[in-house]
Amino acid sequence: MSIIPLSGRRIAIIGGAGFIGHNLAIHLKAQGADVHVIDGLEVNNLLSLTGNKDSVPYPELMLQVVTERMRLLQAAKISLHVQDARDYHALSHILTQIKPQTIVHLAAVSHANRSNKNPYMTFDHSFRTLENALDWARDGAEHFIFLSSSMVYGNFKTPVVNEETVCEPLGIYGALKYGAEKIIIAYNQVFKLPYTIIRPSALYGERCVSRRVGQIFIENALMGQPIKMSNGGAEALDFTYINDLVDGITKCIENTNARNEIFNLTYGSARSVGDMAEIIKEHFPGIEVQDEVRDNLMPERGTLDVAKAGRLIGYVPSWSLDKGYPRYIAWYKKFFERSQALARPLVEG
Which residues would be at the binding site for ligand NAD (CB under 6 A)?
Answer: 15, 17-21, 39-45, 84-86, 106-108, 110, 125, 129, 147, 149, 200, 202-203, 210, 212
Residue 188 CB, nearest approach to ligand NAD (Å): 19
Q: Which is nearer to ligand NAD, 282 or 295 (CB)?
A: 295
Q: Which is nearer to ligand NAD, 74 or 340 (CB)?
A: 74
Residue 49 CB, nearest approach to ligand NAD (Å): 10
Residue 198 CB, nearest approach to ligand NAD (Å): 8
Q: Which is nearer to ligand NAD, 36 or 212 (CB)?
A: 212
CA distance 150 to 301: 8
Residue 202 CB, nearest approach to ligand NAD (Å): 6
Q: Which is nearer to ligand NAD, 105 or 228 (CB)?
A: 105
What is the three-state SS of the chain?
A: CCECCCCCCEEEEECCCCHHHHHHHHHHHHCCCEEEEEECCCCCCHHHHCCCCCCCCCHHHHHHHHHHHHHHHHHCCCEEEECCCCCHHHHHHHHHHHCCCEEEECCCCCCHHHHHHCHHHHHHHHHHHHHHHHHHHHHHCCEEEEECCHHHHCCCCCCEECCCCCCCCCHHHHHHHHHHHHHHHHHHHHHCCCEEEEECCCEECCCCCCCCHHHHHHHHHHCCCCEEECHHHCCEECCEEHHHHHHHHHHHHHEHHHCCEEEECCCCCCEEHHHHHHHHHHHCCCCCEEECCCCCCCCCCCEECCHHHHHHHCCCCCCCHHHHHHHHHHHHHHHHHHHHHHHCCCCCC
Q: Which is nearer to ligand NAD, 111 or 228 (CB)?
A: 111
Amino acid found at 78? I
Q: Which is nearer to ligand NAD, 15 or 317 (CB)?
A: 15
Residue 321 CB, nearest approach to ligand NAD (Å): 14
Q: Which is nearer to ligand NAD, 84 or 305 (CB)?
A: 84
Q: Which residue has its beta carbon closest to ligand NAD? A: 18
Q: In the chain, what is the straight-line distance between the N-terminal and C-terminal CA atoms, in Å?
A: 66
Residue 23 CB, nearest approach to ligand NAD (Å): 8
Q: Which is nearer to ligand NAD, 15 or 194 (CB)?
A: 15
Residue 345 CB, nearest approach to ligand NAD (Å): 31
Residue 323 CB, nearest approach to ligand NAD (Å): 18
Closest CA to 306 of 261, 275, 272, 276: 261
Residue 344 CB, nearest approach to ligand NAD (Å): 28
Q: Which is nearer to ligand NAD, 45 or 220 (CB)?
A: 45
CA distance 269 to 95: 38
Closest CA to 235 of 276, 266, 198, 200: 276
